[in-house]
Structure 1
Amino acid sequence: MAEAGSPFALGTFAAGNEEFPGLVVGDRTLNLSHTPAIPGNVLSIVEAWDAVSPRLAELAADSDSSRWCPLAELSVRAPLRPRQIVQAGANYRTHVIDLAVKHAELGPERTEQQVRAETTAMMDRRAMEGEPYLFAGLPGAVTGPYDEVVLPGYSEQHDWELELAAVIGRRTFRVDRESAPRHVAAYTIANDLTTRDLVFRGDMPEIGTDWLRAKNAPGFLPTGPWLVPSEFVDPGDLRLTLELNDEVMQDESTEDMIFDVAALVSAASRTVELLPGDLVLTGSPAGNGLHHGRLLRPGDVMTSTITGLGTQRTPCVVEEA
């Protein structure tokens, strides 16, 4: 359900064979597919966001209408299928510090405390003078917030990465950091799954990371449950929590981000013309499976929550032969 403080949200739902855009208020949904002046799918609504969002607010204010139905009666799909996905890596301070310590050669002359201090100073410089680390994802990885995640049989090192995702609301090209927030229509939840042993190419170590193989298997980007308009969200003060089989694995605030949403959108737009409905993922906090020494297995259930944006619940299943 859309949580307190968010007057409405937007999602894609199914009832029987019909898939439709829906307005969410509390635990009820309004089918928008036959509503005058509202486009027939969520991507088209986001493309017309500046014109349509006032109408959505009007409809949300009339949530007592008999046209609304309980969310529990509907299937929830991924909110939209983006045309482009930009992803950020190494964007949470605690996460980067933990990685630095994990890979450092510690001893009497190089202690964990020293590594943490050096890494913190490096991130301070990076935040002031550096650039975000960005790369591209594929729309084919997107799946719904309650769908099963099929773990590919070619590896046993699949990992979770809960992330805040910004949804672009207008064409965005070479915008500055101050203007960037006006180009974000909404926010949603993404779990950017990664196959750890495919991140680096053993046969070509000089070429660096291989994000195509590591992150783009079908269903490796559970998204949703819905889009919450940016006017209802403070992206700098949200709590991200991921539980694996009811045990908390990730629990961090977006205050820990090195580059905020505005900086990420601005940086991406210097190279890419972002389109309405595109996703800009903001990186994952500390606490992934590599940190805990516990990667995903068939039968696991991931429960992912971000303040005000709802909750995902995604079970993991084995790939059929």
Structure 2
Amino acid sequence: MPDDPLPTHAGPFALGTFRAGRAPFPGLVTGARVRDLSDLVPSVRALVEDWDSRLPRLTALAARTDGTWHDLPDLDVLAPIEPGQILQSGANYRKHVVDLVAAEKESLHGATPEDARADAERMMDERIRSGVPYVFLGSPRAMCGPYDDIVLPALGEQHDWELELALVIGKAGRNIAEADAYDHVAAYTVCNDLTTRDRLYRPDLKAIGTDWFTAKNADTFLPTGPFLVPAAFVGDPGDLRITLRHNGIVRQDESTKDMIFDIPRLIAYVSTTTTLRPGDLLLTGSPAGNGAHWGVFLKPGDLIEAEITGLGQQRNTVRSSQA
């Protein structure tokens, strides 16, 4: 743990993966204390895979003092879960996408700022009414812990941040109705979906277009956690504050209210293609304020501090792969 204030979580407890010495273990977090759950389950993933029956037992366990307990500051905090699929939503915050579309209309089509923004807003309103989400797959190998160093790959220069609310599936389903979507959510966590912008498009394969694998899946490019906070404790996930600071400067500061497609629509959409299973991770998109917007990208020595209401805080130092 870094020498900073303890990460906070909504509700009476949260879950995570920790290390005290060599072997990682699943833990139940209550404030500044962590109960080792390895006497009960091998991993947090195992808890999520039996979520409906485990949640009442975890609630009872949080009020007890038996078992092995650790002080949170004495532990290494790892990514809280090893997921199945990682499904990632792109272009899902209205203001963010309006900014991008308006900038393109100005630079490429000569529109005035006022006309460009008005056109972009009309496009987003229509997308909300009749469009569908844009979702792609990420690699679990990109994940790292909430306090780990972000290691910049040797290729590319425009390394960017994208803070996102992520949900963990706790109940399997296919073709899930929007009205039933929240029944399939076990918990929420924090993800920072980093992207190397100048590696996003392949100049040698213009007909194919984007290269999501190279741009988004470098090792350490998905800091996750610190905790999984059970959905019942989070309140309205459509009204959480997403805040990211880069070297102490606030770069992203937005409510999840600004999502174009809310969580039920995202779950319903992805489940028409793939069966969702317990342990799958679904990222819901990133709001305005990434590095491309500011014209600032990550460099060795930078500090990223990120948080979402009730889910805890991340703190990552950036370093070069050559260090």
TM-score, with normalisation over the residues of structure 1?
A: 0.95
Q: Is the 8 A contact 1:2 1:24 kept in 2?
A: no
Q: CA RMSD in A?
A: 1.7
Unaligned runs of 5+ in 2: 1-5
Structure 1: which 5+ runs fail to align?
A: none
Distance 2:24 2:83 in 1: 17
Structural mapping, 1:242-257, within 5 Å: 242-257=244-259
Q: Which moved more, 1:88-97 or 1:3-12?
A: 3-12
Aligned-pair distance for 1:109?
7.5
Deviations 1:155-188 (A, max 9, x none): 1111000000010112121101111111010000
3-state SS in 2 of match to 1:205: coil
The superposition leaves residues 67-125 of structure 1 with CA deviations (integer Å, 9 ceiling, x where unpaired) of 43210011100001112111000000110111112222369983212221221121111
- Say whether the 8 Å CA contact 2:103–2:116 is kept in structure 1: no
Match among 233, 236, 239 for residue 238 of structure 2: 236
**Contact 2:174–2:271 (CA under 8 A) maintained in structure 1:** yes
Question: Is the CA contact 1:241–1:305 (under 8 Å) kept in the aligned structure 2?
Answer: yes
Taking the TM superposition and a 5 Å limit, the aligned residue runs for 1:204-223 are 204-223=205-224
1:134 corresponds in structure 2 to 135
Q: Which residue of structure 1 aligns with residue 316 of structure 2?
A: 314
Aligned to 1:27: 32
Cα distance in 2 between the residues matched to 1:108 and 1:228: 46
Instruction: Work out the CA distance in 2 between the residues paired with 1:285 and 1:79.
Output: 23
Amino acid aligned to 1:158: H
* Aligned length, in residue pairs: 317
Residue 77 (structure 1) aligns with = 78
Partner of 2:154, secondary structure, is: coil
How far, CA to CA, are the matches of 1:202 and 1:121 in structure 2? 31
Taking structure 1 as reference, are residues 301 and 116 closer, same or farther at Cα in structure 2, changes over 3 Å only?
Answer: same
1:302 partnered with 2:304: yes
Amino acid at match of 1:118: D
CA gap 1:42/1:107 in 2 versus in 1, 3 angstroms:
closer
In the alignment, the residues of structure 1 paired with residue 294 and residue 18 of structure 2 have an alpha-carbon distance, to the nearest angstrom, of 35
Q: Deviations over 1:225-275 (max 9, x none)?
A: 010001112210100001011111110000000001111111111101122
Distance 2:153 2:8 in 1: 34
Alpha-carbon distance change, 200 to 6 in structure 1, aligned in 2, over 3 angstroms: same
Q: Distance in 1 between matches of 2:9 and 2:219?
A: 33
Give 1:1-12 correspondences, 5 Å limit. Answer: 1=6, 3=8, 5-12=10-17
Q: Aligned to 2:179, what secondary structure does the other structure show?
A: coil
Measure, in 2, the Cα distance between the counterparts of 1:108 and 1:33: 59
Letter in 1 for 2:132: E
Mapped pair 1:87 → 2:88: yes
Deviations 1:165-212 (A, max 9, x none): 010112121101111111010000000000101111111222222111
Q: Percentage identity across aligned positions?
A: 54
TM-score by length of 2: 0.94
